[in-house]
Chain A
Amino acid sequence: MTPPDSELIVRVVGFDDRAAFGELVTRHQSAVRNFIRHLTGGDAALADDLAQETFIQAYRSLPHFRGESAFPTWLLGIAHNRWRNARRQQREYVPLDADEAAHATVPSPAPAADLRHDLANALRLLSPDEQAAVHLCYQQGLSHSEIAAVLDWPLGTVKTNLARGKEKLRQLLTVWNPLT
């Protein structure tokens, strides 16, 4: 029988059981790496470096984990902080304002075009905050309150970023939308 996360956490904190920590990493590496890959715009190498830092910080902070949120939610919060720190150091991101986003060139649906491809391109044109909110909501399946915990935002900010992100996506994908 597979032990629950809580049992593995007790073994890590109480006995420094590294095999138990390895099991936690194996279980949650995909969600964490996918989340950071999304934040870094698909840079797999950078995402894996940040994911590794995330798990090492989680190992150090595990004695302070109080279980107020689910363990995966707590991990994603650490991952977001690591990415935010890395972005602050790099200062490479140039935010795209709403007008630019509205006029950005998402390929129009040529016969060979694919909605999934255009949707992925459109998602990349959102601001990092909007991308993070949309990714956590739709790809990771988190609730609004869980997203607020991960990103350390007020609930209203989560809803605002989701609404703004979706509005930009609607504009970018107008040609695909039969209702507009």
Chain B
Amino acid sequence: MEPTNLTPLPSDRDPLEAWLSAKAPVAPLPDAGFTARVLAALPPPQSSFSWRRLLLYATGTLSGLAVAWWQGGGGPDPMPISSWWNGVLAQIVNLLSFLSDPWWSLAFAGTIVAAAIAFAVWVAWAPPFEEDS
């Protein structure tokens, strides 16, 4: 028996292609709270605090202090903390003595400003470190 609802098809086209195409597109599904459920299931926002970053900064700071201590007359022999600190200050003053030249001073200030800008941009745009978990 001939189906009653078979749509006449052009003879030069594959009927199956036409049926499948006629079936498209699928009806859009209403959201019905789906987006809210997805947003609720997202991982919590990452805080800016990161153990890895803290470790990085602490290691750098301690390494710098150790070098300053060694250069300031420290070394294997233990020395009083005041003497060690004086040594650190002396090294800093010695390192910054070149700033008496105004051109060096200007170049140094420019470098500091550029580094500060670069750091600010990095903090604003870099994706946060993933927490070790």
Contact = CB atoms under 8 A, between A and B. Distances in A.
Nearest to A29: B34
A56 B19 CA distance: 36
A14 interface: yes
Interface string A157-176: 00000000010011001011
Interface stretch (B36-44, B74-82, B84-92, B97-105): B36-44
Contacts of B24: 138-141
A152 interface: no
B26 interface: yes
A8 B6 CA distance: 45
Interface residues of A, number: 44
A121 interface: no
Contacts of B4: 111
A39 B116 CA distance: 53
Interface in A34-61: 34, 38, 48, 51-52, 55-56, 59-60
Interface stretch (A20-28, A67-75, A143-151): A20-28
Interface in B9-52: 9, 15-17, 19-21, 23-26, 28-29, 31, 34-35, 37-39, 41-43, 45-46
A51 B34 contact: yes
Contacts of B45: 16
Interface residues of B, number: 32
**Chain A interface, DSSP helix/strand/loop, else mixed:** helix
A119 B21 CA distance: 12
Contact of A109 (B3, B15, B35): B3
Given A22-B39, A114-B5, A119 B23 contact: yes
A134 interface: yes
B1 interface: yes
B35 A33 contact: no
A55 B38 contact: yes
B2 to A, nearest CB: 8
Contacts of B7: 115
Contact of B26 (A115, A116, A119, A139): A139
B39 A21 contact: yes
Interface of B: 1, 3-7, 9, 15-17, 19-21, 23-26, 28-29, 31, 34-35, 37-39, 41-43, 45-46, 125, 127
Given A56-B43, A109-B6, 4 more contacts: A26-B31, A34-B29, A52-B38, A138-B21
20 contacts: A14-B125, A16-B46, A18-B42, A22-B38, A22-B39, A29-B35, A30-B28, A34-B29, A51-B34, A56-B43, A60-B43, A63-B127, A109-B3, A109-B6, A110-B1, A115-B7, A138-B20, A141-B24, A176-B15, A177-B16
Interface of A: 13-14, 16, 18, 21-22, 25-26, 29-30, 33-34, 38, 48, 51-52, 55-56, 59-60, 63, 109-111, 113-116, 119, 134, 137-141, 166, 169-170, 173, 175-179
